[in-house]
Amino acid sequence: MKKDFLWKGFDFKEGTMVLLDLYGTNHDASLWEKPDSFWPERFRNRKEDAYDFIPQGGGDYHQDHRCPGEWLTIDLMKTTLDLLANHMTYTVPKQNLKYSMIRMPSLPKSRFIIAEVSKV
């Protein structure tokens, strides 16, 4: 933390390291309807917020901590998703997609495998 502050009764001192519980936040039924369901339509009419893209930092881009590579990261994600969704076909073979809840970063046991890849 850059400076001391009090949040919900907890006193954070300057220099304290903090780890956000993103899994817990993203699966909180008080925040999300059907939190365990893959339901991207829930974001269709959402109002954007300066704290939406947590891996890149939070707050106003010009005043708070934001990653200088944020715009490159967003463009790379858009390009990759367009390629996967519109310019190639592939299959996803049976694999072990279980992941550890205590390992950081957590990855599926078999990673994520695609096969029979071809250009559309």
Alpha-carbon span 1 to 17, nearest angstrom: 7
- Of 61-65, 95-99, 105-109, 116-120, give the lowest mean pLDDT range: 61-65
Q: What are the pLDDT digits (tens) for 83-105?
A: 999 999 999 999 999 989 888 78
Q: Which of 114, 39, 119, 43 is nearest to 86 (CA)?
A: 119
Check residue 58 and report its DSSP letter.
-
pLDDT at res. 47 = 87
**Domain residue extents for the chain:** 1-86, 88-120
Q: Let me know the angle formed at the C-alpha of 112 by 111 and 115, rounded to the nearest 5 degrees.
A: 130
Confidence of residue 11 (pLDDT cuts 50, 70, 90): very high
| H/E element, 83 | helix 70-86
Q: Which is more confidently placed, 22 or 75?
A: 75
